[in-house]
């Protein structure tokens, strides 16, 4: 019989188990190498494959303010407009909320002349906003010269609180909070005046036929910041 030096032949020969022991050692070394590669070298790849990514979502907040005034005749309605273009909002900033204060005082100069009746309202159109938000205040009126505060929430679901989101990608969460469609268009504030007659208004020069309305506005803005959160060890 020809000499066969293969590992299989050695394992079959009666050599007090030395060949079998050699085979076992070789097999164990191979298994150990594969285990090392799987558990150590590729550990990060395995963890990344089965770990759900977590992202920190926070917001950099800012605001813009301004004011205007309108002289509105008795029985008339005037309009104040607000938009991204009008106030020159940077493209990187999203509109969160618009607050408008409407104030006036009796300016006729007549003794005992009561405050005029003023109605302020924001029609839910023109600007794309969260018109169904429960905290919106779209209209108010009074005849006591008190300030009226109106509010429009623009970006749906926005709050200024940082949060953590699971799954998807950083780009996904950035897109969620950079939709410039919200806040596009023109918001209109309509103000109507009905003057009240003072006692003795029949006297010459006692007509109260207009009212000066002051409008102060604040636009709250934000810019999102998304960062990946490293998995805990």
176-217 pLDDT per residue, tens: 999 999 999 999 999 999 988 766 555 545 556 889 999 999
Query: pTM of the entire structure?
Result: 0.74
Q: According to CATH, what is the number of the domain 54-198+206-229?
A: 2.60.120.380
User: What HEC string does 1-64 produce?
Assistant: CCCCCCHHHHHHCCCCCHHHHHHHHHHHHHHHHHHHHHHHHCHHHHHHHHCCCEEEEEEEEEEE
108-160 pLDDT per residue, tens: 656 556 889 999 999 999 999 999 999 999 999 999 999 999 999 999 999 99
Lowest mean pLDDT among 9-13, 74-78, 133-137, 154-158: 9-13
Q: For the chain, how big is the Rg over CA atoms in Å?
A: 37
CA distances from 71 to 68, 94, 157, 192, 224 (A): 11, 32, 37, 11, 40
19-71 pLDDT per residue, tens: 666 777 777 776 766 666 555 555 566 555 567 899 999 999 999 999 999 99
Question: CB–CB of 77/192 below 8 Å?
Answer: yes
Give the contacts of 185 (CB within 8 A, at least 6 positions apart). 83, 126, 127, 128
- Mapping DSSP to helix (H, G, I), strand (E, B) and coil, where does residue 119 land? strand
């Amino acid at each position: 019989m020809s000499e066969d030096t293969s590992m299989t032949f050695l394992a079959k020969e009666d050599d007090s188990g030395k060949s079998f022991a050699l085979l076992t050692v070789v097999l164990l070394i191979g298994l150990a190498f594969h285990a090392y590669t799987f558990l150590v070298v590729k550990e990060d790849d395995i963890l990344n494959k089965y770990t759900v990514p977590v992202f920190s979502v926070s917001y950099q907040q800012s605001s813009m303010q301004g004011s205007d005034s309108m002289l509105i005749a008795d029985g008339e309605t005037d309009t104040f407009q607000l938009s991204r273009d009008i106030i020159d909002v940077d493209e990187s900033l999203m509109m969160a909320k618009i607050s408008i204060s409407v104030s006036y005082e009796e300016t006729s100069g007549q003794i005992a002349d009561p405050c005029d009746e003023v109605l302020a309202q924001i029609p839910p159109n023109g600007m794309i906003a969260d018109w169904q938000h429960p905290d919106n205040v779209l209209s108010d009126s009074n005849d006591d010269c008190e300030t009226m505060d109106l509010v429009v929430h623009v970006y749906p679901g926005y709050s200024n609180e940082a949060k953590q989101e699971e799954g998807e990608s950083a780009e996904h969460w950035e897109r969620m909070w950079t939709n410039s469609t919200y806040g596009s268009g023109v918001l209109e504030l309509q103000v109507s005046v009905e003057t009240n007659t003072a006692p003795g208004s029949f006297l010459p020069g006692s007509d109260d036929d207009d009212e000066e309305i002051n409008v102060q506005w604040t636009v709250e803005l934000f810019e999102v910041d998304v960062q990946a959160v490293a998995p805990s060890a």
